Amino acid sequence: MKDAHDATRPNRPSLPALLAVLAPAAMLAGTTTSACAQDAWPLKPLRMVAPFPPGGTTDVLGRIVAQRLSDALGRQVVVENRPGVGGNLGNEYAARLPPDGYNLLLSSSAQLVTNTHLYKRLGFDPLNDFSPVSLLAASGQVLVVHPSVPVKTVQQLVAIARAKPGILNFGSGGRGTPAHVAGEVFQVATGTRLVHVPYKGGGLAVNDLVAGQIDMVLSDMAPAVPQVKAGRLRALAVTSVARSPALPDVPTLAEAGIKGSIPEVWWVMMTPRGTPPSVIARLNAEIVAMMKSSDVQERFAQLGLTPLHSTPERVTELIRLETPAIGKALKAAGIEPE
């Protein structure tokens, strides 16, 4: 006998039928939520690994870029210094971070190109462990001496170094850093013998030069230019093809009669391999806008840096092109991998 209420009770679908109806909607909702989350990136602060201590070019450049990205993204970009082994430790550390869009690396040609010839084991693969974002800047070096060194020209410096081999020393940010490579190439080009004094970062080498602990540094422009302008260091020459706008009165090495090419250094933003393409595209767009802004261009000029931006593909192309060329230069300078 039927329940009197059966006539008015609505027909209810079975559980399997209900799941069949709800499943597509649930999938659509999940897709929509995922898409919204991706569109909303970033949802939390970002980390930018700088593989050198505070005070050097990588750190100074990183803080400028981090501040501008923080303003553009609406989320803080925090610089995390991870120095050691010519920048290798920081690059290795960044390569192991999650590719979730919240981890960045500020690297340079020194780590991605030069170090492949200087170390038998890097701990990271420049081409396979990272997804490039864009070039950021480029710069030559400046040859600076402590005012107590009795020279005012490169020729005078070379004369002393040739007369007394091993009496002068030069500092660098560590083996394989641009200052070290530049110092080795300089010795080959001038027929001199200098003593290499490695530090854990270029800024530390410049600080000790200011303190009179070492004689000279072929420094990145950023840490040295302020000290030159303050009269605490004497600039003898720049390694770039043309004079630097930051030090227009300082001649190039070529003008000083020194033959040989010291490679220009470039800096680049990378992310761990597998970072979402949409994140890379957004970061690239922000860097392009950043490098076109007059205030960033002015700030970079004061530091002796040339602002750059590029496609991610251009970064990969540069690494592939420059790696064999740098290898030949290092071999000519007698630098072997360790």
Q: What is the mean pLDDT of residues 11-19?
A: 40
**Is the full-model pTM beyond 0.85?**
no
Indicate whether 204 pLDDT > 60: yes
311-323 confidence digits (pLDDT tens) = 999 999 999 999 9
Identify residue 319 by its one-letter amino acid code. I
Q: Give burial (CB, 10 Å; 0-12/13-18/19+) of 200.
A: middle
Please give the pLDDT value at position 24: 45
Angle at the Cα of 216 from the Cα atoms of 211 and 221, rounded to 5 degrees: 90
Contact yes or no for 149/219 (Cβ under 8 A): no
Beta carbons of 233 and 147 less than 8 angstroms apart:
yes
Q: Mean pLDDT over residues 3-31, rounded?
A: 41
- What is the topology classification, in CATH, of domain 141-238? D-Maltodextrin-Binding Protein; domain 2 (3.40.190)
Confidence band, pLDDT 50/70/90 cuts, at residue 55: confident
Could you give the residue range(s) of every CATH 3.40.190.10 domain in the chain? Answer: 141-238
Res 10: pLDDT: 40
Please report, rounded to a whole number, the percentage of residues in the chain having pLDDT higher than 90: 68
Say what the pLDDT of residue 5 is: 42
| 153-176 tens-digit pLDDT | 999 999 999 999 999 999 998 887
Question: Which single residue is written with the structure tokens 């081999």?
Answer: 165
Domain 46-138+266-332 class, CATH top level:
alpha beta
Kindly write down the DSSP assignment for every residue of 236-303, as one continuous string.
EEE-SSS--TTSTTSPBTTTTT--S-PPPEEEEEEEETT--HHHHHHHHHHHHHHHHSHHHHHHHHHH
Q: Beta 103-108 vs 265-272: how paired, if at all?
A: antiparallel
Q: Tell me, what DSSP letter sits at residue 111?
A: I
Q: Give pLDDT, residue 185.
A: 86
- The overall average pLDDT reported for the chain is 87
At 170 the pLDDT is: 97
250 φ/ψ angles, rounded to the nearest 5 degrees:
-95, 125
Report the alpha-carbon distance of residue 125 to residue 133 in Å, rounded. Answer: 16
Name the token pair of 330. Answer: 């290092």
3-state SS string for 292-324? HCHHHHHHHHHHCCEECCCCHHHHHHHHHHHHH
Rounded to 10 degrees, the C-alpha dihedral 220/225/227/229 comes to 160
Mean pLDDT of 64-92: 96
Residue with tokens 């898409």: 35
Cross-strand partners of 19: none
Indicate the pLDDT class of residue 39, thresholds 50, 70 and 90: low
In the chain, residues under CATH classification 3.40.190.150 are 46-138+266-332
Task: For 281-301, write each residue's pLDDT tens digit.
Answer: 999 999 999 999 999 999 998
